[in-house]
Amino acid sequence: PTCSETQVPIDGVCVQNTGNRAALCTAKGDGTCASCVGGDLLKDGGCYKTDRLPGKSVCTTASNSKCTKCANGLNADGDGACGNCHPTCATCSTAEDPNKCKTCATGYYKTSNSDGPCMKCSEKISGCKQCVSSSDSSVICLESEVGTGGSTNRSGLSTGAIAGISVAVIVVVGGLVGFLCWWFLCRGKA
């Protein structure tokens, strides 16, 4: 965030650079920090804790205001910059290598616990947007594209609507049968 000259960005929020907070950041005087204390990360002129959001979404360990261990699993370079994993990976052991995924990005799954490639969910299960691997060979779909899941039939009615209509029909038919029995049995004796 852009802060006033008397404020500094700490964990993504502009705060007054006074008291205890002044010890968190060496202010430049222009609303940004020049450096951070301890294990805090200096990113875009602000100081971020690496053990909570938003800081830990970028970096999990920092030293001297620079990232040393990136949130995507890679080690930062000497300047504290993080490399990128392949787009199919959420975390990885080697930058930009599709065969070195530790965990997969949303919409992809892995079949082993070791580093390896991530496969697209929709290639294993048609229409699947998000999935998990439950064993070496099976994949469970967590989210399907609209209209491809088991909650709709060909007519477009949901299974809940079909169940409700079925119950209503049974109640009406049961009531009609009951009325006719009463009409012919009770009224017939009178």
- What digits encode the pLDDT tens for the residues 46-82? 999 999 999 999 999 999 999 999 999 999 999 999 9
Euclidean distance between CA atoms 183 and 90, whole angstroms: 71
How many structural domains are present in the chain? 3
Domain ends where: 83, 110, 135?
83
Q: Which of 83, 117, 139 is a domain's end point?
A: 83
- Which domain range does residue 88 map to? 84-149
- Is the overall model pTM greater than 0.85, yes or no? no
Say if CB 180 and CB 188 are below 8 A apart.
no
Of residues 135 and 181, more confidence is placed in: 181
Task: Kindly report, residue by residue over 21-33, the tens digit of the pLDDT.
Answer: 777 888 888 989 9
Q: Are residues 102 and 117 in the same domain?
A: yes
Domain boundary among 32, 58, 83: 83
Residue 53 tokens read as: 């959001």
| Contact (Cβ atoms closer than 8 angstroms) between residue 70 and residue 60 | yes
